Amino acid sequence: MAGGRLVVIGGDAAGMSAAAKARRENPDLQIVAFERSRHTSYSACGLPYLVGKVVETPEELISRTPERFREKYSIDTRIRHEVVDIDVANRRVRVQNLDEGKEFSEPYDQLLIATGARPFCPHLPGAESDGIFGLSTLESGIRVRREVDEKRPRRAVVVGGGYIGLEMAEALIMRGLEVALVQRGPQVMETLDPDMGALVSQALRDVGVDLYLEEFLTGFETENGRVAGVVTDRRTLPADMVVLGMGVRPRTELAKAAGIPLGVREAIKVNERMQAGTNGIWAAGDCAESFHLISRRPVHIALGTIANKQGVVAGTNLGGGNASFPGVVGTAVTKVCKYEVARTGLTERELNELGWDWTSAVIESKTRAGYYPMAGKITVKILAEKGSGRLLGGQIVGIEGAAKRIDVLATALHAGMTVQNIIDLDLSYAPPYSPVWDPVQTAARQVIKNI
């Protein structure tokens, strides 16, 4: 694969990680990257902080500009260029220059699809009105920031209580808005079990979010083409602006039209090397599947860490190296004001769907030695297999110092550890950082009684 022509569709985390890595592996490769927006390699995860004015300018979220890719990496990086068709048989893409409106055709030897995901937006009356926002690209984040800066909305409604919903609720609270959050399920954070989700619901109330649980969006009230309210099955909530945090869907229409096989939730099927077929097609990031190492099934999880890892693996292989991406264990973390929320592995619902015989325990502990100042509450839940005691999942809700503890459980999941193995771990202890038994070990000591 020395030399040849690599075309990358999508200029954010996965696409540009891959392009940069391919360049390092192979100086002779021709690399062209097409990006619809004006920006490359920005932190999509940072968008709520741009809105919340924790981050002052959009530029701070950009790790590498198109110019940098051109100059430092010799990657022909073309922003405002949208790939509109893939011709798999002839190894060509048709590209539209969005500023000039012209289309052209570009050949490739290898093609990496890194088109990301888009926020889910239901087809409901009023959904196209001004003042309704989803967060995906840097431009979408800039639009929300500008809305808050310039229109000075007083009341916001966030629809959906997942990561983006929670982080946007925090951002808008920080900007001084009244924030209501509508959630279809009985608790926010449906990637946690309901008992742990209830702690997050309470945390949201504690920071001043008006929570409407077990309600679902039925439409929007509008005035002069602008949103004025969110209509649920039970009420109408007045709104000067609305943020949709109802999850994302892989952006795979292009791949689908080209006949590239799709899998879970219409994400592109990939193998461990990130190949999406036999015709020089590769995929990485939020548009692609991952393999879940605990359920042993393909999943679609749109997260920056995974996108970066997949990008590096794809780039290594595209540059002629040899790398594989073994998979994920479902780790994720978020912050709502002073509260920290983390999860890894499988939840009760997921385990029940798989028909596994599991048990669990929930413990309360402290983030530091009990006598140390600012020792805060941390609740840890561990799920383990009955009989074997193998760790299956973990969830944490607490204050400062709580969330990153999930990494021990994530590492233990990768290693196939039992809860006894976790109890035996030589974890670090000093009074400013932990009780003498780390809370994850206290949880393991509790759950082992039920094995």
Between CA 12 and CA 302 the distance in angstroms is 13
Residues 24-63 that bind its own copies (CB under 8 A): 43, 45-46, 49, 54-55, 60-61, 63
Range in contact with its own copies (rule: CB under 8 A) among 27-35, 110-118, 135-143, 304-312: 304-312
Give the nearer residue to its own copies in terms of CB position, either 91 or 309.
Answer: 309
Among 65, 202, 308, 446, binds its own copies (CB under 8 A): 308
The least distance separating its own copies from the CB of residue 126, rounded to whole angstroms, comes to: 32
- Whether residue 108 contacts residue 95, with contact meaning beta carbons closer than 8 Å, is answered with no
The least distance separating its own copies from the CB of residue 186, rounded to whole angstroms, comes to: 24
414 near its own copies (CB under 8 A): yes
Q: Which lies closer to its own copies via its Cβ, residue 13 or residue 209?
A: 13
Which lies closer to its own copies via its Cβ, residue 91 or residue 405? 405
Residue 99: exposure state from Cβ atoms within 10 A (0-12, 13-18, ≥19): exposed
C-alpha span between 141 and 154 (Å, rounded): 19
d(CA 46, CA 235): 32
Taking alpha carbons only, the member of 100, 105, 99, 66 closest to residue 84 is 105
**Which residue's entry shows tokens 């509508």?**
182
Taking CB under 8 A as the binding criterion, the range among 138-146, 184-192, 207-215, 305-313 that sits at the site for its own copies is 305-313
State which of residues 227, 246, 318, 417 lies at the interface with its own copies (CB under 8 A).
Answer: 417
**Of the candidates 403, 396, 336, the residue with the CA atom closest to the CA atom of residue 179:** 336
**Could you tell me whether strands 103-107 and 132-134 are parallel, antiparallel, or unpaired per DSSP bridges?**
unpaired
Q: Considering the complex, what minimum distance in angstroms separates the CB of residue 281 from its own copies?
A: 23
CB of 103 to its own copies, least distance (A): 34
Q: Which amino acid is at 371?
A: Y
Stretch that binds its own copies, among 4-12, 74-82, 188-196, 430-438 (CB under 8 A): 430-438
Q: For residues 122 and 370, which CB has a smaller minimum distance to its own copies in the complex?
A: 370
- Shortest spacing between CB 412 and its own copies, in angstroms: 6
Q: How many CB atoms lie within 10 A of CB 67?
A: 10
Sorted by sequence, the CB contacts under 8 Å of residue 441 that are 6+ apart come out as: 422, 423, 425, 427
Q: How far is the CB of 65 from its own copies (least distance, A)?
A: 15
Choose the stretch contacting its own copies; rule: CB under 8 A; options: 139-147, 211-219, 241-249, 431-439.
431-439
60 vs 128 by CB, closer to its own copies: 60
Considering the complex, what minimum distance in angstroms separates the CB of residue 444 from its own copies? 12
List the interface residues with its own copies, window 66-125 (CB under 8 A): none
Task: State both tokens at 70.
Answer: 């051109």
Encoded one letter per residue, x for contact with its own copies by CB under 8 A and - for no contact, window 263-302 reads ------------------------------x---------
Query: Toward its own copies, which CB reaches closer, 63 or 279?
Result: 63
Give how many residues touch its own copies by CB under 8 A. 68
| Closest alpha carbon to 341 in 270, 435, 404, 256 | 404
Minimum CB–partner distance for residue 62 and its own copies (Å)? 9
φ/ψ of 432, rounded to 5, equals -70, -15
Q: Which of residues 321-360 bind its own copies (CB under 8 A)?
A: 325-335, 340, 342, 344
146, amino acid identity: R
* 337 is a catalytic site residue: no
Q: Give residues 132-171 in contact with its own copies (rule: CB under 8 A).
A: 163, 167
Select from 139-147, 219-227, 273-281, 371-379 the region that touches its own copies (CB under 8 A). Answer: 371-379
- Catalytic residue selected from 45, 121, 287, 337: 45
The residues of the shown chain that bind its own copies, judged by CB under 8 A, are 13, 43, 45-46, 49, 54-55, 60-61, 63, 163, 167, 293, 303-306, 308-309, 325-335, 340, 342, 344, 369-373, 401, 403-408, 410-415, 417, 421, 423-434, 436-438
Q: Could you give the residue numbers annotated as active site? A: 45
